[in-house]
Structure 1
Amino acid sequence: MKKVKGFSIVLVLATLLLLLQACSTGSTGDKEKEKGTGSDSAMGEGGVLKIVRLSDATGLDPHFITDIPSANVVHGKVYETLVAFDKEGEIQPRLAEEWEQVDDLTWKFTLHEGIKFHDGTPFNAEAVKVTFDRLLDPATGSPQREKLGMISEIIVEDDTHVTLKLSEPYAPLLSILASNEGSILSPKSIKETADQLAVHPVGTGPFVFDSWKSGQQITLKKNEDYWGEKVKVDAVEFKVVPEDSTRLAMVESGEAHISDQVPVTEIDRIESSDALNLTRTEGLAVEYVGFNTTKAPFDNVKVRQAVSYAIEREAIIKGVYNNVGTLANVAMSPQVFGYSKNVEAYPYDVNKAKTLLKEAGFEKGIKVKLLTSDRKERINMAEVIQSQLKGIGVEVEIEVLEYGSYIEQIDGQEHQMFIGGWGNATGDGDYNQYNLFHSASIGPPGNHFYYQNPVVDKLIEQGRVETDPAKRLVIYEEAMQIEMDDAVYVPIRNYEHLAVYNNDVKNFRLDASNYLIIEQAQVK
Structure 2
Amino acid sequence: MSKRIAAAFFAACALACPAMAQRSLTMGVQTPPSALDPHFHNTTNNTMMLMQIYERLFELDNKAVPEPRLATAMRAIDDLTWEVTLRQGVRFHDGTPFEADDIANTFARIPTVPNSPALYTPAVRTISTIEIVNPTTIRIRTHEPNPLMRFDMAAPFILSRRIHGQNPATSDFTSGRLAIGTGPYRLVSFAQNERLELRRNDTYWGPPEPWDRVTVRFIPQAASRSAALLAGEVDLIDYVPVQDVENIRRDPRFALFEVDSVTFVYLFPDSMRDPSPFVADRAGNPLPRNPLADRRVREALSLAINREAIATRLYNGLATPADQFAAPIAEHRLPTPGPLPHDIARARALLAEAGYPDGFRLTVHGPNGFFPSDQNLLQALAQQFTRVGIETTVQALPPANLFTRATNRDFSMFMTYFSSYLTINPLRQVVATRNPDIGFGPFNRQRYSNPAIDEPLRLALTTMDPERRQVLTHQAAQALQHDKGVIPVIFLRNTWAGRRDRVVYDPSPVNHTSAVHARPPN
Partner of 1:378: 374
Q: How far does residue 165 in structure 1 lie from its aligned partner after superposition?
A: 0.4
Report if aligned partners of 2:39, 2:113 keep a CA contact under 8 Å in 1. no
Higher RCO structure (Cα 8 Å, ≥6 apart)? 1
User: Equivalents in 2 of 1:311, 1:473: separation in Å?
Assistant: 29
Is the 8 Å Cα contact of residues 170 and 464 (structure 1) preserved in structure 2? yes
Quote the Cα distance in structure 1 between the aligned partners of 2:21 and 2:298: 55
- Matched to 2:128, the amino acid is S
Residue in 2 that maps onto 1:522: 520
Report what 1:446 is aligned to. 443
Aligned to 2:192: 214
The answer to whether the aligner puts 1:252 opposite 2:246 as a matched pair is no
**Structure 1 residue 322: Cα displacement:** 1.0
Match of 1:286 in 2: 264
| Normalised TM-score (structure 2) | 0.86
- Report the count of equivalent residues: 482
- Read off the aligned partner of 2:298 and give its amino acid letter: R
Query: Structure 1 pair 479/192, CA: closer, same or farther in 2 (3 Å)?
Result: closer
TM-score, normalised via structure 1 length: 0.86
- 2:359–2:391 Cα contact (<8 Å) kept: yes
Distance in 1 of aligned mates of 2:392 and 2:363: 6
Q: CA RMSD in A?
A: 2.6
Gaps of 5+ in 2: 7-16, 277-289
1:318, CA displacement in angstroms?
1.2
Aligned to 1:232, the other structure's residue is in SS state coil
Question: Does the C-alpha gap of structure 1 residues 229 and 252 become closer, same or farther in structure 2, counting only changes over 3 Å?
Answer: same
* Structure 2 counterpart of 1:437, from 423, 431, 436: 431
Counterpart position of 1:31: none
Q: Which amino acid aligns with 2:23?
A: G
| Deviations 1:365-396, CA, capped at 9 Å, x for gaps | 20000111113512222222222122221111
1:46 CA displacement: 2.2
Of 78, 96, 99, 1:121 maps to: 96
Q: Could you tell me which residue of structure 2 aligns to residue 390 of structure 1?
A: 386
DSSP-derived class of the 1:498 partner = strand
Equivalent residue of 1:46, what SS?
A: coil
What is the distance in 2 between the residues matched to 1:86 and 1:397? 40
Mean Cα deviation higher: 326-335 or 286-295: 286-295
User: Corresponding residue for 1:333?
Assistant: 327
Gaps of 5+ in 1: 1-21, 28-40
Q: Report the equivalent of 1:402.
A: 398
Determine the structure 1 residue equivalent to 2:66. 91
2:466 corresponding residue in structure 1: 469
Counterpart contact for 2:308–2:320, Cα < 8 Å: no
SS state at 1:98 partner: strand
Give the fraction of aligned pairs with identical amino acids, expressed as a percent.
24
1:183 offset after TM fit, Å?
A: 1.2
Give 2:168's match in structure 1, choosing from 177, 194, 201.
194
Relative distance call for 1:87 and 1:394 in structure 2 (3 A) is: closer
Contact between 1:146 and 1:440, CA under 8 Å: does it hold in 2?
no
Displacement after TM superposition at 1:42 (Å):
13
1:185 alignment partner, one of 144, 155, 159: 159
Give 1:432 deviation, angstroms.
Answer: 1.4
- For 1:105, the equivalent position in structure 2 comes to 80
The separation in 2 between residues aligned to 1:206 and 1:355, in whole angstroms, is 58
**SS state of the match for residue 516, structure 1?**
coil
Asked if 1 retains the 8 angstrom alpha-carbon contact of 2:433 and 2:450, the reply is yes
Q: Is the 8 A contact 2:434 2:441 kept in 1?
A: no
User: 1:193 Cα deviation (Å)?
Assistant: 7.0
Q: Deviations over 1:257-307 (max 9, x none)?
A: 111111112111111212221110111111122212233331222221111
Greater displacement, 483-492 / 203-212? 483-492
Q: CA deviation at 1:186?
A: 2.0
Aligned match of 2:133: 157
Aligned residue for 1:505, secondary structure, equals: coil
Paired position in structure 1 for 2:150 = 174
Q: Deviations over 1:334-360 (max 9, x none)?
A: 211121134466411222211221222
8 Å Cα contact 1:251/1:276 also seen in 2: no
Larger mean CA deviation between 289-298 and 331-340 belongs to: 289-298
